[in-house]
Structure 1
Amino acid sequence: MEAGKRTIREIFNRGRNLEIPFFQRSYVWDEPQWKRFLEDMVMVSENRSPYFLGSVILKQQETSSDRDAVLTVIDGQQRLTTLNIFLKVLCLMNGDDSDFTETFKKQRDKKIILLHNHNDIESFNKVVYLTELSNFTNISENDHILQAYQYFKKSIEEEELLEKLEFYDILDNILFVGIDLNLGEDEQQIFDTINSLGVRLTTAELLKNYFFKRDEITKYNEYWKDIFEKDDDTYLYWDREVVTGRIRRTVIDLFFYSYLQIKIQEDGLNVKTQDKIDFSRVENLFESYKRFIKDYGLNKDAILKEIREYALLFINNFDSEIVKEELPSTDGIERINAIIFGLDNSTLLPYVLYVLKNVANENQRNELFGFLESYLLRRLVVKATPKNYNQLFSDRLINNQILSKEEFMEIIAQSDNKINFFPNNEQLKVGFDNSIIVNSQAAGVLYMIESKIRDNTRHSTGLRGMKMYSLEHLMPKKWINKWSPVETKEEKDFRNFKLLTLGNLAIITQSLNASIRDSNWATKKDGQGTKEGLRHFSGGIETLSPFLAIEEWNELEIQKRANYLYEKAVKIWQEA
């Protein structure tokens, strides 16, 4: 890595090309940036003193011996593009286009040095290959290249700036902070450097640049653009962020992680155990792809074809917004979506995607998904650890090609690893009686039961999405002043424990006012004055409504409701 001051001539060395990579999106500068840039250029011309125009990061590409050197523009696209457009306009207005050619075009063939990617290449080349001033009409609102040309041309003319702008004064005094990266340098270090400068490169952007060359537009359109960048809705889907553990990750990153976990289990590749461990880490996903493809001799085009197939399955089946929508009661991919995105089980994604790809029979898929729900929800209620799920769903289920309910049941039953046990009814009963679960998970358990037992024909409002409900403690944590007293410390401790269990928790359509939340049972049910209570916000919720007729809510009633929830759960999540 070499860093230091760079002049325009040093950046635009006429014996090489600067290439905007695939991962860079369109040129996006607009009038506020152009106005500031033009003011700065006037100042540089008038003062004739050095002016820093920001940083430029260039990385050496591998090229054949008979081809000129090519450097990738990692950071600086907006500034370098603007400089080309502005100075092109200035040279044409001065009648000295040769000045532009001798600076921004290669010496040997007089072709432009800065090579734009598919987003802007047509408009950029229209500008830089002009031989005289032109007016562009019918410019798209998204075409900032041609808009910039029109802006500089119009502004210089209307503000009579031509006499104040001197091409060589600008050329001699503009400086950059240049960082040059060699071909063999560690990629991760490079991208860490970029991120520290405020440039965010996602795994998808890096993979796009890795898979496609500049002239492979047809391949790019078929295997990438039509899948990941087709329109605004497609962008929105893939760029949406999902919480996984304590980390927010984009849906597209979750997809690329899932595909890799499936691929490394493929028969015949014989991926080493240590490599599987390395490739299963969410960090450095781009590096994992590069090393996996290189070390195991995989064909990039074949990988792209598979990625396209899996991505279509993914976008047609996985929806993180399911938590805002009514959930059907029938087993299927919708309920699995709710478990993945509502209960933070993203480790399921590779296996579920694998099932979608390899099980054509919908009934067989749904039966397996129903069992998967039973397995995961039972384990959640009994507080079984999810730490081994990655190993289970990728290494064991995908690796052993488990594609049916019966095969799943068998592999769990044969497991000598008790961490992956399927909780029986007795364990489930203890869970409903005694487990203290994180609020979001407790709400999810209640919602999954509600979505199975609710009869919408009896209610004027339908079931909402999982995240559209609030969790309420029927007996509040602050019960001491307004609820019946207890005599001993043991009774107090027992009450404080039981009010945290599932029997005392309910989902309602809106959080109660704080004064109602901590009131006595009668007020909490019916509200007071303009402040509504549980009856108003229960919305016909089957897991709560029957209990609002109870005169007094106490530890005994909490246990009765736990028994009720358990009886529903046993029927919904059947024992293995």
Structure 2
Amino acid sequence: MQAHTHTPAIIFGHHIRYVVPLFQRPYVWNQDDQWQPLWDDVRTLTERLLDAPQPVYGAPPVPPHFLGAIVLDQQITPSGFIAARHIIDGQQRLTTLQLLLDAAQWVVEQHGADIDAQALKTLVLNDSTLTKHADHVFKVWPTDRDQDAFRAVMDNTVQLPPDPATSKIVQAHEFFVDQITEWADVTGDAAKVGARLNALVRALRDHLKIVAIDLEPGDNAQVIFETLNHRGSPLLAADLIKNLIFQLAQAEGADVHYLYNTYWKPLDSDYWRQLVAQGRRRRPRIDLFLNHWLTMKLLRGVAGDRVFTDFRDHVFTHRPAIADLLAELAADAQVYQQMENLAPDSIEGVFHYRVIRALDSAVVSPFLLWILRWSATDMPAQQRTKAITALESWIVRRALTRATAKDLNRMILDLLRALDNDGPARAGDTVETVLATQQAESRYWPDDRTLHRVLETQPIYKILTRPRMRMLLEALENSLRGPLGEGQACPRNLTVEHVMPQAWREHWGADIDGDHNATAERDQLVHTLGNLTLVNGKLNPTLSNRPWTDDDTATRGLAGGGKRAYLLRHSQLKLNAILVVQHEATWTEHDIRERTSKLVHRIASIWPRPAGAVRPQQPTSADATDDLVIHNDDDENEGATVASHTGKYRSLWRWLRQQSGNDISLSFAQVEQILDGPLPPSARNHLPHWYGYDGTALGRAIRDAGWKATHVNLIDEHVTFVQVSG
């Protein structure tokens, strides 16, 4: 490499073309990050020139301003053509500089001296009489996506694109014209305007400095492109991958223009560069696609910051034909784009909405991409449906029962490896078999009993996020409307409503006034599944806390009817139609429990689990959080501290009696595994229930086993048992 520091007058002062290779990214610089800072620097430099005294012989009046570096690759130019260099790095910088120079030239031509305007014109246009092609008049020539806009702003005789607001090239040029016009104060004194514009011309031509690095024969342009420190808008992983692919294609002598236009050009659209949410982060859509594509292709996890390096290693290791690689990428990119526009009532569209969006499980995207990339010939429709519905059931059931999601990424990788091994023809059988045979607690497919135990007792409204809660109720509504695709799907813009209101004390508390236990029970029940439904956003505030019936509403002096009447008149959901028909007079705790049980039965049918799926392995006390093992030895072998315990928590008493060590930490869910049933609601809301008071059966069972409960956390639902000495 040869590096030299040049001014714009030297870089652009002779007949030259700096060409952005077709495969580089489009122009992406913006006002806040690049245009405004550049103009601020140029304006400050110009004002220093205006204020500077006459220069001492041999010394510049003000220090120059450094703009950064560019890397150029000399191209073989046929005789009679203007010399050309490819911009390996720095195309954003050179393009912006040309836009600034041309904007300044236009303002100077309108309001300054002719000699100054001509001095800038030689830096933006070649002599048209020496060019073989009309576009060779431009000193810089961008990639194809930006050429129409660049041609329009750099040549005042060309009409602007139909929608200039969408072109950053047009926006940048207009920004610089506006800034220069305002700064020069063109409506003021002509002599002052001329002096200011003359200083600007001198600053732009002679007081900006750029390091130009010219590659020599044998220099690896791709390596240099990757390792240079980029100043400005950071390169996407996709930009690096694109550059690598087409550098290799160019080295092979392939038709780069054909490959780009056929396969990659659609990926340079704004759609693919849009930022989309990934958990708490936002990443360009194309980088997410490449991340998921690599995970699917390599059958291993790919960190977000290693997308390019892992792609490069894959290419250099397996040496795929570049045309075949591009064709595969382009085809899978179309599949990935379709994933976001699936029919909302299709099996695939429902999976995407429920799992990837509502449950925020983007980690399954490589799985869905693998499933959808196969044709119906390769993967029969029945097998595709089976694969998708099996994974949806597995994930939803685990989410509803609050099972850990920490192993989900590894589970997806195991599924991909199994699918890759078995092939697409039996994809559904493979997925169901793999999921149904998982025994680890972090991978177990929850059964119907677990669904009932959790959903019939837990305050699910507090446990699930609103998108998850809404998705669950929508699924219940859709199941009442009939099979997918056979009826109008439930709207997805509704809000979750408590039938018995959260603030039930206002109009619903007369029947239990003063009963502490009944009050605590109702506080728990109002957040359970059976008390929840969906309503539109306008109806929700109207329902508010009003009583259930019209008579109760009138008795309390409230205008309008009761909550039941509002649901009857204004809601078209089957969930609410069944609710109001079956409960004309009252809505009580008994009704909530009964409806909860019915809804859980329906949930089990919406997301079925194979009858042969195994139950989980359960941990030992040595590692209670991972390996809960429950023994059922005879009482005569249990030791002598307490001969027997006959309370309803006897299974916990027995289990604790069998443990060694000084302390054991368990989640509430693990305690329920030992009990083989749910904890009472009061155990989740009141600390004293865990301690050895005479009135708490749970506390007595713990005490009789020779242990005590400590560090009871009702928020995280966790308890530590400590063995009592002696």
Q: Tell me the TM-score normalized by structure 2.
A: 0.59
Q: Distance in 1 between matches of 2:234 and 2:375?
A: 38
Q: CA deviation at 1:499?
A: 2.2
Q: Distance in 2 between matches of 1:170 and 1:25?
A: 25
> Is the 8 Å Cα contact of residues 224 and 308 (structure 1) preserved in structure 2?
yes
Corresponding letter in the other structure for 1:119? R
Q: CA deviation at 1:412?
A: 2.0
Query: 1:211 aligns to what?
Result: 245
Query: 1:510 aligns to what?
Result: 537
Q: Decide which of 430, 444, 469 is 1:442's aligned counterpart.
A: 469
Q: CA deviation at 1:200?
A: 5.4
Q: Decide which of 341, 358, 380 is 1:342's aligned counterpart.
A: 358
Query: 2:312 aligns to what?
Result: 290
Q: Decide which of 406, 427, 431 is 1:408's aligned counterpart.
A: 431
Query: 1:271 aligns to what?
Result: none
Instruction: Give the stretch that moved more between structures: 114-123 or 345-354.
Output: 114-123
Q: Deviations over 1:506-536 (max 9, x none)?
A: 1212265658423444479989647995654
Q: Deviations over 1:536-558 (max 9, x none)?
A: 46622222332233433332222
Q: Distance in 1 between matches of 2:7 and 2:559?
A: 74
> Is the 8 Å Cα contact of residues 404 and 442 (structure 2) preserved in structure 1?
yes
Q: Distance in 1 between matches of 2:68 and 2:43?
A: 25
Q: Distance in 2 between matches of 1:387 and 1:124?
A: 50
Tell me, which stretches of 5 or more residues in structure 2 are unaligned?
A: 53-60, 78-83, 214-220, 611-726
Larger Cα Rg: Structure 1 or Structure 2? 2
Q: CA deviation at 1:346?
A: 1.5
Q: Decide which of 469, 475, 483 is 2:494's aligned counterpart.
A: 469
Whose relative contact order is higher, 1 or 2, with alpha carbons under 8 Å and at least 6 apart? 1
Corresponding letter in the other structure for 1:25? Y
Say whether residues 1:385 and 2:411 are aligned partners: no
Query: 2:203 aligns to what?
Result: 170
Query: 2:289 aligns to what?
Result: 255
Q: Decide which of 481, 486, 489 is 1:454's aligned counterpart.
A: 481
* Residue aligned with 1:386, SS: coil
Query: 1:479 aligns to what?
Result: 504
* Residue aligned with 1:119, SS: helix
Q: Distance in 2 between matches of 1:573 and 1:525?
A: 39
* Residue aligned with 1:476, SS: coil
* Residue aligned with 2:371, SS: helix
Q: CA deviation at 1:470?
A: 0.6
Say whether residues 1:419 and 2:442 are aligned partners: yes
Say whether residues 1:72 and 2:93 are aligned partners: no
Corresponding letter in the other structure for 1:337? H
Q: Decide which of 442, 447, 452 is 1:429's aligned counterpart.
A: 452
Q: Distance in 2 between matches of 1:419 and 1:471?
A: 30
Q: Decide which of 103, 108, 118 is 2:144's aligned counterpart.
A: 118
Q: Distance in 2 between matches of 1:253 and 1:455?
A: 39
Query: 1:270 aligns to what?
Result: none
Q: Distance in 2 between matches of 1:565 and 1:52?
A: 75
Q: Deviations over 1:358-400 (max 9, x none)?
A: 3522233223323333222222222222222221223333444
Query: 1:272 aligns to what?
Result: none
After superposition, the Cα gap between the structure-2 partners of 1:101 and 1:509, relative to the gap in structure 1 and judged at 3 Å, is same
Q: CA deviation at 1:177?
A: 9.5
Q: Decide which of 368, 389, 406 is 1:352's aligned counterpart.
A: 368
> Is the 8 Å Cα contact of residues 507 and 546 (structure 2) preserved in structure 1?
yes
Say whether residues 1:560 and 2:560 are aligned partners: no
* Residue aligned with 1:415, SS: coil
* Residue aligned with 1:428, SS: helix
Q: CA deviation at 1:223?
A: 1.2
After superposition, the Cα gap between the structure-2 partners of 1:96 and 1:244, relative to the gap in structure 1 and judged at 3 Å, is closer
> Is the 8 Å Cα contact of residues 474 and 504 (structure 1) preserved in structure 2?
yes
Q: Distance in 1 between matches of 2:172 and 2:73?
A: 34
Q: CA deviation at 1:104?
A: 9.0
> Is the 8 Å Cα contact of residues 478 and 518 (structure 1) preserved in structure 2?
yes
After superposition, the Cα gap between the structure-2 partners of 1:421 and 1:186, relative to the gap in structure 1 and judged at 3 Å, is farther
Q: Deviations over 1:137-173 (max 9, x none)?
A: 4343447569959x979989x9776675368623466
Q: CA deviation at 1:80?
A: 0.6
CA RMSD of aligned residues (A): 5.1
After superposition, the Cα gap between the structure-2 partners of 1:243 and 1:560, relative to the gap in structure 1 and judged at 3 Å, is farther
Q: CA deviation at 1:201?
A: 4.4
Q: Decide which of 62, 81, 85 is 2:98's aligned counterpart.
A: 81
After superposition, the Cα gap between the structure-2 partners of 1:293 and 1:147, relative to the gap in structure 1 and judged at 3 Å, is closer
Say whether residues 1:94 and 2:115 are aligned partners: yes
Q: Decide which of 254, 260, 269 is 1:220's aligned counterpart.
A: 260
Q: Deviations over 1:457-508 (max 9, x none)?
A: xxxx954442x01112223333334322365544433332222222222121
* Residue aligned with 1:506, SS: strand
> Is the 8 Å Cα contact of residues 549 and 562 (structure 2) preserved in structure 1?
no
> Is the 8 Å Cα contact of residues 237 and 307 (structure 2) preserved in structure 1?
yes
After superposition, the Cα gap between the structure-2 partners of 1:189 and 1:446, relative to the gap in structure 1 and judged at 3 Å, is farther
Corresponding letter in the other structure for 2:310? S
Q: Decide which of 266, 275, 298 is 1:264's aligned counterpart.
A: 298
1:43-192 to structure 2, matched below 5 A, reads 46-47=50-51, 56-58=67-69, 60=71, 70-73=87-90, 76=93, 79-86=96-103, 93-94=114-115, 114-121=140-147, 124=150, 136-141=157-162, 142=164, 164-165=197-198, 169-171=202-204, 174-175=207-208, 190=229
> Is the 8 Å Cα contact of residues 242 and 249 (structure 1) preserved in structure 2?
yes
Query: 1:332 aligns to what?
Result: 347
Q: Distance in 2 between matches of 1:535 and 1:242?
A: 42
> Is the 8 Å Cα contact of residues 475 and 553 (structure 1) preserved in structure 2?
yes
Say whether residues 1:573 and 2:607 are aligned partners: yes
The size of the alignment, in residue pairs, is 525
> Is the 8 Å Cα contact of residues 28 and 78 (structure 1) preserved in structure 2?
no
Q: Tell me the TM-score normalized by structure 1.
A: 0.72
After superposition, the Cα gap between the structure-2 partners of 1:162 and 1:504, relative to the gap in structure 1 and judged at 3 Å, is same
Instruction: Give the stretch that moved more between structures: 396-405 or 445-454.
Output: 396-405
Q: Distance in 1 between matches of 2:562 and 2:265?
A: 51
Q: Distance in 2 between matches of 1:189 and 1:171?
A: 25
* Residue aligned with 2:497, SS: strand
Query: 1:269 aligns to what?
Result: none
After superposition, the Cα gap between the structure-2 partners of 1:62 and 1:171, relative to the gap in structure 1 and judged at 3 Å, is closer
> Is the 8 Å Cα contact of residues 495 and 535 (structure 2) preserved in structure 1?
yes
The percent identity for this pair of structures is 18
Corresponding letter in the other structure for 2:161? S
Corresponding letter in the other structure for 1:498? L
After superposition, the Cα gap between the structure-2 partners of 1:386 and 1:487, relative to the gap in structure 1 and judged at 3 Å, is same
Corresponding letter in the other structure for 1:345? S
> Is the 8 Å Cα contact of residues 439 and 471 (structure 1) preserved in structure 2?
no
> Is the 8 Å Cα contact of residues 525 and 531 (structure 2) preserved in structure 1?
yes
After superposition, the Cα gap between the structure-2 partners of 1:183 and 1:259, relative to the gap in structure 1 and judged at 3 Å, is closer
Instruction: Give the stretch that moved more between structures: 509-518 or 545-554.
Output: 509-518
Q: CA deviation at 1:351?
A: 0.8
Q: CA deviation at 1:405?
A: 2.5
* Residue aligned with 1:552, SS: coil
* Residue aligned with 2:161, SS: coil
> Is the 8 Å Cα contact of residues 295 and 366 (structure 2) preserved in structure 1?
yes
